[in-house]
Amino acid sequence: MPITSVSKDTDDLTMTVVADFPVPVRRLWDAYADPRQLERFWGPVEWPATFSRHDMTPGGESHYVMTGPDGDQSAGYWKFRSVDEGKGFEVEDGFCTDPGVPNPDMPSMRMTFAFEETGEGSRVTTTTWFASLKDLEELIAQGMEEGMTSAMSQMDAVVADLSSFAASVGTESQLLDDTHVRITRIIRGTVEQVWRAHTEPELLRRWQLGPEGWTMPVCEVATNVGDTYRYEWEQEGGENRFGFTGELLEVSPPVRSVTTERMIGMEGEGTINELTLTPVEEGTLMSLYVTYPSRELRDQILATGMTDGMETSYARLEREVLAPA
């Protein structure tokens, strides 16, 4: 059991939880930075969380939904007020009516997470600051302390798992529900390097090619919100040409972009792609959250071998663009 103490201060309107782990600080930090790991413990055992957004940077946001044993759901959010990599972060924490939509009828809180080394490993101290004594008493009465204790009881197993989230795993697709997929990969490079590789045409043409034998004759990148992009590929010799186009909806260099995507010539609605880049110990975690208009289109696209093609491209990125000269 990682929690070593829980204390409440009705004068300062705080609840402080201290938890210790037999791992380095960086390993503990990455468990919070990586949504795949965070959702394994951010939520009581009976109410696991699923994160649809997690950009751990000042001004960034996290959106999550916890699902109970009977299918009931409770949505929440974080708004990052500050992030000091490896040392701590501060968020506004609150409830949502729908993912990403704050619930004005429920209180929000300020939470700080402080990470430090100990003689046996590392410690995270989580302090929740309530707006009033009424809020503190109400949320404690609703089971906040028990919920956090249950949630953090799962952390030992998460931080001890060194293989499931390693760079060697490669590109993975995770089905979150009927219309949402999260694609992840750790790329061996800095966030800035990986961002440039996704946004500079001369670099994109070198690695985003899928299987061997393909070229990218059209690479028109969107740089400002409202811009459109257009990418086209063909096999050597000009055969089997295809491409995608879309609009840039949001951009926060070098950590996040949101685009629409539709195959050129395809009728109907396309997808919305949310790209997030997060620094982790082995490089940069690339997380692509894809929203499909239907389960049928989701399954159709995944059946094309998209994940394998992305892995081929990202391996080429590491080998031919990011590898030291």
Tens digit of each residue's pLDDT (9 = 90 or more) over 88-100: 999 999 999 988 8
Please tell me the predicted confidence (pLDDT) of residue 100: 85
- The partner residues of 183 in beta bridges, in order of sequence, read 173, 288
The domains of the chain are located at 3-160, 167-322
Structural tokens at position 34:
């990586």
Over residues 112-148, the pLDDT tens digits come to 999 999 999 999 999 999 989 988 888 888 888 888 8
Does the predicted TM-score (pTM) go above 0.85?
yes
* CB-based burial label for 226 (10 Å; 0-12, 13-18, 19+): exposed
Q: Comparing C-alpha atoms, which of 16, 17, 13 is closest to residue 130?
A: 13
Show the tokens assigned to 237: 């010799």
**Residue 184: what are its φ and ψ, rounded to 5°?**
-135, 150
pLDDT (mean) for 230-242: 92
- CATH of the domain spanning 3-160, picked from 3.30.530.20, 2.40.50.180, 3.30.710.10, 2.60.40.420: 3.30.530.20
- Secondary structure of the chain: what % helix, strand, coil (to 5)? 25, 45, 30
The larger pLDDT score, comparing residue 43 to residue 315, is at: 315
Instruction: Judge whether 89 and 83 are in contact, CB under 8 Å.
Output: yes
Whether residue 325 is predicted with pLDDT greater than 80 in this model: the reply is no
Burial pattern 143-154, b for ≥16 Cβ within 10 A else e, equals: ebbebbbbbbbb
Instruction: Give residue 187's pLDDT.
Output: 97
Helices 306-316 and 295-302 meet at what angle, rounded to 10?
50
**Average pLDDT value for the chain:** 93
**Gap between the Cα atoms of 186 and 237, Å rounded:** 33
Mean of pLDDT values over 19-26: 95
Distance CA 299, CA 274 (A): 19
3-state secondary structure of 275: strand
CB atoms within 10 A of CB 17: 20
The pLDDT-based confidence of 175 (bands split at 50, 70, 90) is: very high
CB atoms within 10 A of CB 53: 20
CATH architecture, domain defined by 167-322: 2-Layer Sandwich (3.30)
Residue 1: pLDDT band with limits 50, 70, 90: low
Query: Exposed, middle or buried: residue 72 (CB in 10 Å: 0-12, 13-18, 19+)?
Result: exposed
SS3 1: coil
Same fold flag, 3-160 and 167-322: yes
% of the chain surpassing 70 pLDDT: 99
Helix axes 144-152, 133-141, angle to 10 degrees: 60
187-229 pLDDT per residue, tens: 999 999 999 999 999 999 999 998 999 999 999 999 999 999 9
pLDDT of 149 reads: 85
Contact criterion met (CB below 8 Å) for 75 and 63: yes
CB-based contact 301:183 (threshold 8 Å) = no
> Could you give the maximum distance between any two Cα atoms of the chain, in Å?
74
Give the residue from 44, 96, 39 showing the smallest Cα distance to 69: 44
